């Protein structure tokens, strides 16, 4: 399983790391931000269609444990 990481421009320290699952190794052209694993809306729609997804904040239950 491949993934990536993001490094702070200010400190040079790694602040996140991930493994890609499902659509592995997302091409840079399909990423919302080249250093992050999030797809653009256009790439997501091309891959999954336009039904059943959101580009808005998702509310968490007040009793969620995270």
Helix/strand/coil (H, E, C) string of 42-61? HHHHHHHCCCCCCCCCCCCC
pTM score over 0.75: no
How large is the average pLDDT for residues 30-59?
78
Rounded CA-CA distance 42/25 in Å is 17
The answer to whether the CB of 1 falls within 8 A of the CB of 21 is yes
Domain ranges of the chain: 3-48
Residues 28-37 have pLDDT tens digits of 888 888 777 7
pLDDT at 1: 44
């Amino acid at each position: 399983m491949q993934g990536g990481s993001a490094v702070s421009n200010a400190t040079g320290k790694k602040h996140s790391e991930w493994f890609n699952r499902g659509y592995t190794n997302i091409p840079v052209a399909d990423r919302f931000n080249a250093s992050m694993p999030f797809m653009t809306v256009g790439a997501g729609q091309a891959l999954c269609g336009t039904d059943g997804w959101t580009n808005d904040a998702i509310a968490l239950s007040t009793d969620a444990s995270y």
